[in-house]
Amino acid sequence: MERKSPYRAELNGQTCASCFYWRGEDGGDGACRRYPPLATAAGTLSPQTSHGFWCGEWRAQQLSTL
């Protein structure tokens, strides 16, 4: 059984960049980045997925602030 993070991404909640990937990804509005994020020449991360999915793994530097 898949364990979900207690933190859910929301439009006005945690920033998408705080999450490495989103569980249950199946497309969406492209608000948040999924794992593995790929840096482009412009410095943006892709591919992207919906903001409504649960975070699978938070960035280590963010854990102390959650």
Question: What confidence tens digit (pLDDT) does each residue in 37-61 have?
Answer: 556 666 665 555 544 555 655 554 4
Residue 9 lies in a domain: no
DSSP per residue over 4-48, as a string?
A: PPS-B--TTSS-GGGBS-EET----S--EEEEEEEE-TTS-EEEE
pTM above 0.75, yes or no: no
Residue 55: domain span? 16-63
Residue 11 lies in a domain: no
Question: What confidence tens digit (pLDDT) does each residue in 4-25 have?
Answer: 444 444 433 444 555 555 555 5
Domain total of the chain: 1
Residue 5 lies in a domain: no
